[in-house]
Structure formats: C-alpha cells, structure tokens
Amino acid sequence: MGKLYSLSAAQMKDLLNKKEVTSVEITKSVIDRIEKTDKEIQAYISYNFDEALKQAAAVDEKIAKGEKLADMAGIPVAVKDNMCTKNLRTTCASKMLGNFVPPYNATVVEKLLDEGAVIIGKTTMDEFAMGSSGENSAFQVARNPWDTSRVPGGSSSGSAATVAASQVPVALGSDTGGSIRQPACLCGIVGMKPTYGSVSRYGLVAFGSSLDQIGPMARCVDDTAMLFKSICGRDMRDATSKDYTYKPYGDSVKGIKLGIPKQYFGDGISAVVKEKVYRAVEVLKAQGAEVVEVSLPSTDYALSAYYIISSAEASSNLGRFDGVKYGYTGSKRGSLDELYESSRSEGFGDEVKRRIMLGTYVLSSGFYDAYYKKAKILQKNIAKEFDDAFKLCDAIITPINPTTAFKIGEKSDDPLAMYAGDICTVTLNIAGLPGISIPCGFSAEDNMPIGFQAIGKKFTEDKLFTIAKCYENAVGGFAVKEF
Amino acid sequence: MEIDIKHIAKLARLSIPEEKVEKFQKEMEGIIEMVENLPDLNTEGALVDPSDTMQLRKDEVQPSFPRDEMLKNAPNTAAGCIVIPRVVD
C-alpha cells in the first residue's frame, strides 16, 4: 500500500469497499505526495488538507457503520480555482479575487461533498480561464509533469498537471474553448467537455456563459466517467442545465461510424500530431469501427466566431468586478468612476484586459452587426454543419492541439499565436457538443504526449466514453509519468 | 484598421498606462484583423434556437444568504451597508 496516491479512483473505491484501506490513509498519502512534488509542479493555489482529512474521517465513520457508499466517497478530488468552495478561497488565479472566500458551494462541489468526496485543494489556471498555457495565472505557472520546462496547457493547467503527476486520481476542470481537452491532451490524460447543459454551472465564475462547461479529468476512462456521473444532471439554479441522466457506456466500437473531417487535418496541424491521430483511427477501425469522411466547411471561421462571442460575453460578465461588492478594491477612491477604473486596472492581468476590450469593441455601437451578429450567425451554421455530419456518423475524430506542449515563455508574448492553437477545440463549445480528449502516444521529437478528440452529438457522452474505453483497452492502457 | 485603444479602455472602465498603450493597440489591431474574416451570411431566422428552451425555477420564496455573510467579502462596509465614494452632492 506504499503508493496509495497513485491508484485510480476506481481502485481506491474498491479498496475502500473491501475495507482494506481507509479514506484517511488515502488522503494522507495524497497530501504527502502533493507536499513532496508540488514545489516543482505548482498545481495548487490553495490546499484544503485539514478539511480534507475531516471529510475523509467522516467517510471512514460511515464505512465503519456499514453504510452504502456513493461512487466518489472517500476519493480525493482537485477542483479548478474558478468553482466556488464555501469557506475556501476561490481566486480564478486573479489578483481581483485574491482574497475572495465564497459564502456558498458551486453545485458540482456540493454534489461531490454529498457523495463524500474529499476536496484536496484548488488548482491554478489561466486568470479567469482565459488562456491556453496556464501562464496567465497571477500567482504561479503550473508545470507539465512530462517535462517541467513546458506548459501543461490551459486554462485548466493545474487540474491537468496534478492528475498527470499522480498527485490525485481525478480533478474538475472547466472548458470554454478547449480548457479541459487541450491541457488533458498536452499532459497525456483523459478530459471530457460535456454537452452544454449536462453539468450545472452554478458557482462557476462566469467567462463566456453560453460556452462554459465543467467537466472531469483523470488518468483513465473509468475515472473520468465516474467523476462525470457524480456531477451531471439538472440543477434548478442553472436555467440552462438539462434533465440529463447518466448512461452507462460499453467498450466495443463495432458498427460505430467515425467521421473524419478534412478541415481539422490541415497545414496548421503538425505532421506528428496528424500521424498519431490517424493511427488512433486505425486502432479503432481494427476494433470494428467504420470510418467515413465528413465535411465541416465553416471550421476556418470558427476561431473568429469563438473569440468574438466569448470575449463579448466576458466583457459583460466581468463588468461585475467593480471593487465595490467583493474582490480587489483599487487604490484610487476619490469618485465612483475612479474606484471602478483603479480596481479593474490593478486587479485584472493583461490577457483579461485584452479580452474585455475586444468584447467591448465588438459590442460597441456601430460594430455590433459587423462582429457579434455575424459571429452568432456563424455559430448557427457551425452547429448545422455538425448536425449534417452526424447524419453520416456517430462521432467525429479530430486532433486537439496542433503541436505538443510548448516551452514556458515560448508564446506568452504573442496572443495571436496562442489563440491560433485553439482551432480544433472551440467549435464544440460554439455548437454545444460534448468532446473527449484521449491520449494516443508520444512525439518522437520531444517525447511529449499527444491526444485525439472524439466529438459526439448532444448528450451522447456514453458513446464517447465507449470509444475512449475501447481505445484504452486496445492499446493496453495509457502511459503514466513516473514523477 | 486603427483602433482607439484609450477610448475602448475607457468604455470598459480600464486605464492603460502610457507605456503600454502602443503594445495593447498593436495587439488589439492584430486580433481584430484575425476576427474580421467572417463571411456575409444569410441573416434570416432567429439567432436564438427556439427548440432549446430554458427551464426556469418556480417563483417561490426561499431563504436567502444572511447579510453579514455576504458582506464579509465587501472591501468597505458600515452599519450593514457597502460604503462607496460619494455620488451626489
């Protein structure tokens, strides 16, 4: 039992059920692991160790009494720092919320606590989830466990890094334009962005409300699905959430039709990534999947539509940070306008300011029709093209990130280069579809992980888990970094 | 495409320090150039999907958060209220 921390959530659950270990033992092992490795990984903004041990002890008490346990009972979970945790600082990796202690739990956190999960800490991220590398954190830059000179991806950088470094078995991320799938891909783990509406957003600090979605990250498919199962479903406090019932998944792709859109395999995608994704398709084909070509012609415009819509919503959502009600308050307080301006200018980092200003610009008088309205029309077209493609197939397979993880600092001065990397992930958020990131090998050039994406129709997460599980079995499981 | 970054910043209640104006302006112009490529499409039909309805909660009286708990995060309070700079003379 020396390495309890390295077990999967499913293995932990099994040992707990057999009473071979206690949740306190697991939690202590995880805490010890984090204390030993987090100086290097820097995945966490806040630790919740004292409270976590109490939560674990409460589960152990239930086990001793012979009570039936929920799936996540006694399992340590890391939570991205943009989901509200009652009495535990929730910063969004921003100076703006550096001292914010929420008076309530996000629905996903509440659901996990109800099941008896152990919240181990809050993970770092790009400030307000804006970024693709984790470098936009106001506090610390998480490292990629496969090579700590490289980024883990973003914006759920800490959640991906902590799982990949076997600090915890599972973590929650959020995904507005790829922020779960891309870091999962770059860190060689599994990450799922659920259908818009299948997981409640209540208590998730809003970025682009019509695109944001919370989802699970783990080192294997079963754990990813187990965490998803415990957080999905309708919540009255999020009017966009849907009556979603979790459906079990299988492990056979026999007869499943996989669509391959050529627009996702263009010049912008590196040869090594394309090769690995095509090879993954071959693996699935050998397992009985059928492969068809599909076309998603508006893909070229998706990045523009995404940055217009998400920034427009962000500029509106982030209007609430005014230095008055909560959060950072600025140094100039002579007038209300001065208070607003100094609070926002001192509290937000540069990337957040860029997005707010882009959103302000595209929504401003005279430009609305040229940008925002066009982007919304394009959003409809993109969704329709997916609908048409799904008449020919059950799921669509694409790359996730054009390259493997890049070096820290390599792109941080070039926002456009950073934005361009999101081309394969943003379309799902625009169309509200679910997508899963599945590891599919390593680049021979830099030994960094590569992943592929399976995209499904709305509310077909079970099918995506089936494809992922089939692939995982076929390749004999995913590599775990000895760290 | 030239952008008046100071004006946009003002609309967004942000101030950009003088030494960063040029950098922000250049970056913003680059970003706008990137997102400008949207094609002219048929603009008929609603932009909201009528089949994708939101389910509102029932309008029932429920306990709300206690005031003192909500005010714990406020930077400046007095007598159970949030204090702001004077807005009327």
pLDDT, tens digit (0-9, with 9 covering 90-100), for A240-297:
999 999 999 999 999 999 999 999 999 899 999 999 999 999 999 999 999 999 999 9
What would the pLDDT profile of A67-113 be if each residue is shown by its tens digit?
999 999 999 999 999 999 999 999 999 999 999 999 999 999 999 99
Closest-CA distance, B78 to chain A, in angstroms, reads 13
**What integer best gives the mean pLDDT of chain A?**
96
Supply the pLDDT for residue B44: 67
Q: How confident is the model at residue B88 (pLDDT cuts 50, 70, 90)?
A: confident
The answer, yes or no, to whether residue B48 has pLDDT greater than 80, is no
The answer, yes or no, to whether residue A473 has pLDDT greater than 80, is yes
Interface contact flag, B12 A304, Cβ < 8 Å: no
- Decide which of B45 and A72 is more confident: A72
What would the pLDDT profile of A48-60 be if each residue is shown by its tens digit?
999 999 999 999 9
For residue B84, list chain A residues with Cβ-Cβ distance below 8 A: 324, 336, 339
- Among the partner-chain residues B14, B49, B74, the one whose CB lies closest to the CB of A356 is B14
The percentage of chain A sitting over the pLDDT mark of 70, rounded to a whole number, equals 100
Cβ-contact A261, A229 below 8 angstroms:
no
Supply the pLDDT for residue B46: 64
Residues 6+ apart with CB under 8 A from A412: A133, A135, A418
Q: How confident is the model at residue A342 (pLDDT cuts 50, 70, 90)?
A: very high
Which residue of chain B comes nearest to A340, CA vs CA?
A: B13
What would the pLDDT profile of A387-425 be if each residue is shown by its tens digit?
999 999 999 999 999 999 999 999 888 888 888 889 999
Supply the pLDDT for residue A104: 96
Interface contact flag, A344 B14, Cβ < 8 Å: yes
Interface contact flag, A416 B34, Cβ < 8 Å: yes
Domains of chain A, start order: 1-483 (3.90.1300.10)
Which residues of A does the annotation mark as catalytic? 80, 155, 179
- Among the partner-chain residues A237, A240, A333, the one whose CB lies closest to the CB of B85 is A333
Interface contact flag, B5 A345, Cβ < 8 Å: no
Supply the pLDDT for residue A301: 93
What is the residue extent of each domain of chain B? 5-35
Interface contact flag, A308 B35, Cβ < 8 Å: yes
For residue A345, list chain B residues with Cβ-Cβ distance below 8 A: 14-16
| Distance, C-alpha A181 to centroid of its chain | 6
Interface contact flag, B13 A378, Cβ < 8 Å: no
Supply the pLDDT for residue B2: 81
Supply the pLDDT for residue B43: 66
3-state secondary structure chain A: CCCHHHCCHHHHHHHHHCCCCCHHHHHHHHHHHHHHHHHHHCCEEEECHHHHHHHHHHHHHHHHCCCCCCCCCCCEEEEECCECECCECCCCCCHHHCCCCCCCCCHHHHHHHHHCCEEEEEECCCHHHCCCCCCCCCCCCCCECCECCECCCCCCHHHHHHHHCCCCCEEEEEECCCCCHHHHHHHCCEEEECCCCCECCCCECCCCCCCCEEEEEECCHHHHHHHHHHHECCCCCCCCCCCCCCCCCCCCCCCCEEEEEHHHHCCCCCHHHHHHHHHHHHHHHHCCCEEEEECCCCHHHHHHHHHHHHHHHHHHHHHHCCCCCCCCCCCCCCCHHHHHHHHHHHHCCHHHHHHHHHHHHHHCCCCCHHHHHHHHHHHHHHHHHHHHHCCCCCEEEEECCCCCCCECCCCCCCHHHHHHCCCCCHHHHHHCCCEEEEEEEECCCCCCEEEEEEEECCCCHHHHHHHHHHHHHHCCCCCCCCC
Substitution target from B84, B86, B88 for chain A, most A beta carbons within 10 A: B84
The percentage of chain A sitting over the pLDDT mark of 90, rounded to a whole number, equals 95
Which residue of chain A comes nearest to B68, CA vs CA?
A: A103
For residue A103, list chain B residues with Cβ-Cβ distance below 8 A: 65, 69-70, 72-73
The answer, yes or no, to whether residue A194 has pLDDT greater than 90, is yes
- Among the partner-chain residues A103, A301, A336, the one whose CB lies closest to the CB of B39 is A301
Closest-CA distance, B87 to chain A, in angstroms, reads 7
DSSP structural state of residue B57: P
Residues 6+ apart with CB under 8 A from A202: A106, A107, A235, A237, A238, A241
Residue pairs spanning A and B at CB distance below 8 A: 143
Give the pLDDT mean for B77-87: 92
The answer, yes or no, to whether residue B47 has pLDDT greater than 80, is no
What number is the ipTM of this complex? 0.93
Supply the pLDDT for residue A411: 87
Give the pLDDT mean for A130-145: 97
The answer, yes or no, to whether residue A463 has pLDDT greater than 80, is yes
Closest-CA distance, B88 to chain A, in angstroms, reads 10
The answer, yes or no, to whether residue A2 has pLDDT greater than 70, is no
Q: Which amino acid is at A283?
A: V
- Among the partner-chain residues B35, B49, B72, the one whose CB lies closest to the CB of A307 is B35
Cβ-contact A91, A100 below 8 angstroms:
yes
For residue B34, list chain A residues with Cβ-Cβ distance below 8 A: 303-304, 307, 416, 419
The answer, yes or no, to whether residue B51 has pLDDT greater than 80, is no
- Among the partner-chain residues A242, A315, A415, the one whose CB lies closest to the CB of B12 is A315
Give the pLDDT mean for B67-85: 93
Interface contact flag, B85 A340, Cβ < 8 Å: no
Give the pLDDT mean for A327-351: 95
The answer, yes or no, to whether residue B45 has pLDDT greater than 70, is no
Interface contact flag, B35 A304, Cβ < 8 Å: yes
Give the pLDDT mean for B34-63: 79
For residue A333, list chain B residues with Cβ-Cβ distance below 8 A: 85
Interface contact flag, B27 A376, Cβ < 8 Å: no
* CA triple A353-A417-A344, angle to 5 deg: 5
Give the pLDDT mean for A421-436: 96
> CB count, 10 Å around CB of B58?
6
For residue B65, list chain A residues with Cβ-Cβ distance below 8 A: 103-104
Cβ-contact A295, A389 below 8 angstroms:
yes
Closest-CA distance, A379 to chain B, in angstroms, reads 9
Interface contact flag, B34 A304, Cβ < 8 Å: yes
What would the pLDDT profile of A436-449 be if each residue is shown by its tens digit?
999 999 999 999 99
